[in-house]
Amino acid sequence: MTSAASTTPTAVVVVDDSPVQRRFVRAAVEADPAFTVVGEARNGKEAVALVARLRPGVVLMDLDLPVMSGIEAIERIMATSPTPILVYSAHVGDGETANALEALAAGAVDVLAKPGAGDTGSLDEYADQIRKKLRVASRVRVITHPRGKLRTRETAGAVHATPRLGLTRPTPIVEEVEARVGVKLVAIGASTGGPQALHTLLRCLPPDLEQAVLVVQHMAEGFIPGLASWLDQLVPMPVVVGGSGRRLQPGTITIAPSGQNLLVQDDRLRVLCVDPEPGQFHVPGIDQCFASVADALGPDAVGVLLTGMGRDGAQGLKNMRSRGAPTLGQDEATSTVYGMPQAAFALDAIDRQLPLDDIAPAVLGLLGRP
């Protein structure tokens, strides 16, 4: 789908050290009249200068760059000329996946898996993915993201060696919430902007939490294990990727795996991973997961819907609320994309809409934690 020809196309800067990739990406992007490539950079340093000079609407950047790395370039761009940045990265190993997550922490809006040897997808598919992600990224409002705001340089490239960080005490919420008895699970859904939001929320949950935490994050296939590893080093609770037959554990954050829907089967928190429904757009699906939580746990769960494009999660959260579960949504001002929470709010699926920083205190209040 393209926007009307009469509208001004969004200016794009492409950053890649490979002329082949730049040429291919330019053709893929400009196949949509909503975009025009206004500049190409061959390394991170050129990218920083070009973005400052051209002020494009969106940047499409490879991470593996000479002269100045993609991560450093993102940090500098977000600190000086905040611009939505879509990163594409080969998912050939844990190191690259960790880099992609570092890119999101540094301020990139989203990550796209770069195909390579062994992939059986088509170039058309890849080009279509680029355009779809660019359309979302170009609509994101970004703010100045000072270097080191979410992470320090010391953690770059060494996430597996970083000791687990301590609990970040949430600031007391202004409005008290009534604690709920018998809650077994906190279910969280997120999409665009989710990794940063998850970090902000989850770093405030203590490791001795008596409830299990379940996260469904839309993410390109291949990046979920990296997301789990990244969060595991940054938040007090252990983080694992879920799988069929396992049970969600109290005091543990489980992330839904890519490529399937994770369903909670019963009040013992057993999990089943099933193939997506035909035509399902977002996988793993938040709606499917939340609906299963509503069926399995009724009022004994808390639902949280964070930033994201589209409306996945809204109906599932509505199901949870209808069964008596308290539900929270991220507000517009702090959402990278106020899509999913807005859809949930419009469906009357949300008890309380809150700024991101207030969501962890609200969850802890509902769980009866000081």
Partner 1 sequence: MRVDDGTVAAASLSAALPPALLADLRVAFGREVDARLPHLRAVTDLETAQRDAHTIASAAWVIGEPVIAKLAREVESGLPGGPVAELVAALERYLA
- 158 touches partner 1 by CB under 8 A: no
Task: Pick the closest to residue 47 from 23, 20, 83 (CA basis).
Answer: 83
- 24 touches partner 1 by CB under 8 A: yes
- Using CA atoms, how far apart are residues 22 and 25, in angstroms rounded to an integer? 5
Give the residue with the Cβ less far from partner 1, 117 or 181.
117
Q: Which of 121, 146, 182, 324 binds partner 1 (CB under 8 A)?
A: 121
Q: Is 17 a catalytic residue?
A: no
Within positions 124 to 143, which residues make up the interface with partner 1, using CB under 8 A?
124-125
Judged by CB under 8 A, how many residues of this single chain contact partner 1? Answer: 27
DSSP code for 264: E
**Burial of 169 from C-beta contacts in 10 A (0-12 / 13-18 / 19+):** exposed
Ramachandran assignment for 223, one of left (phi > 0), alpha (psi -120 to 50 degrees), beta (any other): alpha
Q: Which of 18, 144, 152, 171 binds partner 1 (CB under 8 A)?
A: 18
- 221 touches partner 1 by CB under 8 A: yes
Q: Which entry of 312, 331, 351, 358 is annotated as an active-site residue?
A: 312
- Using CA atoms, how far apart are residues 190 and 361, in angstroms rounded to an integer? 18
Give the residue with the Cβ less far from partner 1, 31 or 54.
31
Q: Is 312 a catalytic residue?
A: yes
Q: Which of 64, 267, 332, 357 binds partner 1 (CB under 8 A)?
A: 64
Strands in 226-285 per DSSP E: 239-241, 253-255, 261-264, 271-274
- Using CA atoms, how far apart are residues 81 and 74, in angstroms rounded to an integer? 10
Q: Which of 2, 7, 27, 141 binds partner 1 (CB under 8 A)?
A: 27
- Helix axis angle for 123-138 and 19-30, nearest 10°, is 70
| DSSP string over 132-184 | HHHHHHHT-------TTSSS-GGGTT-GGGSPPPPP-PPPPPSS-----TT--
- 113 touches partner 1 by CB under 8 A: yes
- 176 touches partner 1 by CB under 8 A: no
Q: What angle (nearest 5°) sits at the alpha carbon of residue 235, between those of residues 307 and 93?
A: 80
Q: Which of 3, 17, 54, 247 binds partner 1 (CB under 8 A)?
A: 17
Q: Which of 37, 51, 90, 177 binds partner 1 (CB under 8 A)?
A: 90
- 21 touches partner 1 by CB under 8 A: yes
Q: How far is the CB of 88 from partner 1 (least distance, A)?
A: 10
Q: Which of 1, 4, 5, 117 binds partner 1 (CB under 8 A)?
A: 117
Contacts with partner 1 by CB under 8 A lie at 17-21, 23-24, 27, 64, 66, 90, 92-93, 113-125, 221
